[in-house]
Structure 1
Amino acid sequence: MDNSDSDSETIRTWPFAAARSTASDCSDLLTALLATNVLDEISDANDLDSVEEYIRMKGVVDNSIGRTQLGVAFWLYPSGLHGPYHDLEGGAVERHGTLITVEAGVDVNEFMSGLRSRLTKNGVY
């Protein structure tokens, strides 16, 4: 790739430079991760309070600075739908929820504010 144009951006397929939808570019990887059953599944019940508690526990948050010490990844699904998918009549499968990743060093309050503002309540986030 010719980088002589200072205004052009380098296109990287991995590692990602920006967040992407788990339902678009990475669907095969997402399916493989969900099949392993190694990701914890967290419901969005109680206005995401359980999500914040999970991040603070698994991310080993230093309360004096409010930042994660470890990265965290989990599947967030709408309350009442029980996990990442369910079988429909006729053999089809409906997927719901999203993969949430939190890097080490993230301010938990800022992260939760952003998460609350971005999530929708219509099945797949």
Structure 2
Amino acid sequence: MCKKTRIWLGTFETVEGATRAYDEAVRLMCGTRARTNFPYNPNASQSSSSKLLSATLTAKLHRCYMASLQMTRPSIHRQSLRQQEEEQEAKRNWVFKKVKDHIEQMIEELLHYGSIELCSVIPPQAL
């Protein structure tokens, strides 16, 4: 999503010229998937659109685009960290559930078989 920014593009002789300049500015600031008035044709010559915007204005629009990318990167990083934490928590919960299930199974077996007698497996002479 492109942040709303107001930038003076200039004065144009025709409405179509102004509209095409707007479309080019939006694409520079928001990428080729930006919503525009005219369909985007990547095969069209860049010279016709670059005539609409000055080099200074194109550079300014590019800086705006780069700044918006910088603003979105930290949130992507935070989402990645949050996802890793959630995955680790899920693994811990899975291990805890397995241990708990194992303990419950041992208790059920002890209750089912009644009392048990524990024997030493170490020979008496070793003591």
TM-score (norm 2): 0.21
Structure with more of its chain in strand, by fraction:
1
Structure with more of its chain in helix, by fraction:
2
TM-score (norm 1): 0.21
Looking at CA atoms only, which structure, 1 or 2, has the larger radius of gyration? 2
